[in-house]
Every structure is written in structure tokens, then in C-alpha cells.
Structure 1
Amino acid sequence: MKNSYFVFSLGLLKSKESSDMYYNNALTRPFAKIYRWHRYFTFSIQILCTYTVVLVVIYNLTYLLTFYGIHTIKNQLDRVHFILLSQLNWNIEWGTSFINDIYLCSILSVIIYCTQIFNGLIKIQQHLISAYAGKYIDIPPRHNFSNNELISKCLHFSGYLCGYTAWGFIIFYKISFVFCLLLRLWIRYDSRWFQHILALCLPIVLVYLLKHILVSLLSEFVFLQNFGRTPSLNNRRIYFIFNYFNFFFDCFLGILSCYIRVSKALLASLLFMGRLDYSFMGRNLERLDQGYATYVTFIHMEIIHGHPILGTNFSFYFLLILESGD
């Protein structure tokens, strides 16, 4: 009776430390940042099949967007060239430079999304192993969902994962291509606008960075005791005086912080679109994220129906019943 339940339960008894449960050799060490091979843990058939389909979808999309996309984008650029020439009298020669942009965006999109796929497998592994031990640190516990929600939402896991990954890959590819193309044309035809933007933005960004460096240095060497090793204040009067002036400074500099916050949210949405285990909403609003709610309920259903300790005990009792003949 050496099924996956029994192997995992036996591994818990053999391993003295949590690090002993992972392979650490010359073959697995280079891939530790992408995926860690567990000695006794095995994914369910649904997870393996779903991620296999996701990898096939990424492969097909890469082929279609790269090779068929060259002909499609060339026709669209010729159409844009005709409109600009007839309406604005702008003669922009695209040439063949956009093909290099297509290849660059394809390689970048594949690297980013394949990395996200394997990182998603790591998160599923970590969440399942923690949940086997009754630890729900990164995901809400089961009592936050009704039984009906657990069943109805976990059914969308495979479809949402494939759909989110595919559309995230397409959107990231399209936006990165447009960005590369516009940046190339901007620098080639009118670099003065680019220089003016840099002259306008760089001073604000430098002031923003210098202010953060100053706050970090003051916090470590002036405000905190023992040079930041303890959280206790050392110079309370200087701290509150600086806090007063920093309030007015942040009121004006907060405009840049708003743009940075929105930019980070948009960039994170593009990069992590295929990651159902990440919610872009706060802890109180994460249940409004359908993808994240689907992921959490799927993890709970995996625990309910695939817990290795419970599976081993049930198998053992079932064999005892069969041997007793009752």
C-alpha cells in the first residue's frame, strides 16, 4: 500500500528538519528559484493536467503571436502609415525594425510567464504542505467560506488559470510591443521630446529618492536606539519636529507617490495575471477577487479530499475491515 498518502506520511516520520524533505543536489540546485523538488509530496492529477494545458497554451500563443503576428502587424502598420500620411502628412517609415521588437517581446513574455507558472506550482506546494499541518498563514481559513462556496468556486480553478494566463500573456505581449515600438520611433524621429520629458521628470524623481534615503538614514542613526537594532525612539523631540515638516512635504510629493502606486498596480496586474494565488486587493476585499477566491477554495477542497495523513489512516482502517471480513 505505497500510495502517495503513505509515502508522504512516511516522509514526515523520516525527516528531522523541513529542509530534509527537499532534494538538494547538483541537478535541482540551479532550479531552486523556480521550483523545489519535494521528496514525498505529489500534486494531484487535476493540478498536473491543468498546468500541462497552460504550458501548451503558452507555446501555441507564442508561435501564433510571433510568426503569424509579423504579417498581421505589418498590415496594421501599413494602414497606420497611410492614415498618418493622408491626414497629417507624416511620412513614418517602419522598415523591418518592428520584427526585432516582436522577437524581443515574445522572448520576454515567455520568460516572465513560464517563471510565473513554476512559481505558482511552488505556492500551491507550500500552501498545501502548510495546510496539511493546519497552518493557514497566506490564505484565509476554511471557516471563511460556506460549503456551497467551496464547491461552486473551486470548480473554476482550471478554467480560470488557463484563461487568466492566456489573456495575461496576450495583453503583456501587446502592451510591451506597443511600448517598444513607440519608444523606438520617439527616439528616432523626435528625441527632443524625450529629452524634455527626462528634464522634467528626473529632478522630481531624484528629490523623491533623496527624500527616502534621508528618511531611512535618519531613522537608523538618529531616531532609533542602538542604530536601528531596537524599535524604541531615541530622540523623540527631533522625531516629532521632522514628522511635522515631513507632513507638508509629503502632501505635495504625494502626487508622484500616487502615480507610482498606480503604475505598480498596473505592472503587477500584467506580470501576475496568471497567478491565482495573488490578490491585488486588500485582506478585507480579497473575496471580491474571483480568481483568488477560486484558488483558496481549490486548496481547501484539496485538503478535504486529499489530506495524506487522513488518507493513510482511512486506507489502514479499510484494510483492517477487509482482513477481519466484516
Structure 2
Amino acid sequence: MLSESMKYSGIQIAYFLWGYYMLQLMLFLVAMVTSYFLVLPLLGLVSSLYLQPLWTLLPTVVLSLLLNYVQIIVSRKALLQDHRYKHRRRGESAKALALNNRRVYHNFSYFLFFFNILLGFYSCLLRIAKSILLGLVFLARIDRSGLMQGYQHWDFGNVII
């Protein structure tokens, strides 16, 4: 415990410096990518071929978001019954989760199955990207471990007393 206590301040300063360095590097890279692949082609200073992947992916993203919102609206308006109940503790009313059209629900679920697989894949990639970004931003924080629960003892910066 004593040797860990002596290491703590050096590790803390190293984590602060490394976190600051990584944050500055990521901000620089994001600014460069944004300016080179979006701003400069829109200004006409760089070939518009850099915007080709954006124009290719844009309809897919728009259709994906549109289908996601349509799925939410249809499930609220057409599939659920309009029953309300009161919470025992809070006293406020909420909509009950009771199906109105079971056949429509099964058909809707069947036809959106493959779309939901893609949505889950994109959700997984987005979760990984968020965890990488938050890991870089919060690297300098010693009070929170960068590792998940159960593996925090591997983090030298996180001393649990």
C-alpha cells in the first residue's frame, strides 16, 4: 500500500500529460479531416472527389434514420393499445405496454428484421467509437478507471483504498 501510494503522484501526472497530449492530437486530427474532406471541397479548393463517399453514404444514412423513426411512430400509434395506468409510488400515469394488433406486429417485426440487424451493427460501431472518444477525453481523470468493472485493478492510475 505504501509503495502504491508513492507511485500515485507520478502516475497521476503522467496520466494528465498523456491525456492532454492525446486530446490535442485527436482534436487536431478531427479538425484536419473536417477541413480537408468537407470544407475545402465545398469551397472548391480541392477536387470534389473527396465528397463522393459522403454523397454515396448520405442516402443510406437518411433512409436508415427515416426507417428508425417510422418504426417508432408505427409502434406507438398502430401497435400499442391506448391504456393508461397509475404508478403506485409516483402517482403519475403512464401508457401500458399492451399490443393492439398482434398480426401487424409480427409482420412489421418480420420485414424490419434485417434492417434491425444493420441498425444493431451500426449501434455497436457507434458504441465502440463513443467508448474510444470518451476513453481519450477522460484518460487524465484518475478518479474514474478507463477499464470496465472487474478489471479496474489492472489500471495503475486507479488506486482503490
* Alignment CA distance shift 1:185-1:294 (3 Å): closer
- AA partner of residue 19 (structure 2): G
Residue in structure 2 matched with residue 196 of structure 1 by the alignment: 52
- AA partner of residue 229 (structure 1): K
Aligned with 2:140: secondary structure? coil
Residue in structure 1 matched with residue 111 of structure 2 by the alignment: 245
- 1:294 has 2:158 as partner: yes
CA contact (8 A) 1:171 1:270 kept: yes
Aligned-partner Cα distance in 2 for 1:280–1:222? 43
Residue in structure 1 matched with residue 70 of structure 2 by the alignment: 214
- How far apart are 1:268 and its partner, in Å? 1.9
Q: Percent identity?
A: 27
Aligned-partner Cα distance in 2 for 1:215–1:179? 33
CA contact (8 A) 1:160 1:291 kept: no
Paired residues, what number?
A: 142
Aligned-partner Cα distance in 2 for 1:274–1:236? 51
CA contact (8 A) 1:269 1:280 kept: no
- 1:165 has 2:28 as partner: no
Aligned-partner Cα distance in 2 for 1:278–1:222? 45
Aligned with 2:112: secondary structure? helix
2:144 to 236, 260, 277: 277
Greater share of residues in helix: 1
Aligned with 1:225: secondary structure? coil
CA contact (8 A) 1:287 1:293 kept: no
1:177 to 21, 24, 28: 28
- How far apart are 1:191 and its partner, in Å? 4.4
CA contact (8 A) 1:279 1:292 kept: no
CA contact (8 A) 1:224 1:232 kept: yes
Aligned-partner Cα distance in 2 for 1:233–1:160? 55
* Alignment CA distance shift 1:240-1:177 (3 Å): same
Aligned-partner Cα distance in 1 for 2:96–2:16? 44
* Alignment CA distance shift 1:190-1:166 (3 Å): same
- AA partner of residue 110 (structure 2): Y
Instruction: Give 1:10-159 correspondences, 5 Å limit.
Output: 155=5
CA contact (8 A) 2:16 2:140 kept: yes
- AA partner of residue 238 (structure 1): V
Aligned-partner Cα distance in 2 for 1:225–1:279? 44
Aligned-partner Cα distance in 2 for 1:292–1:241? 52
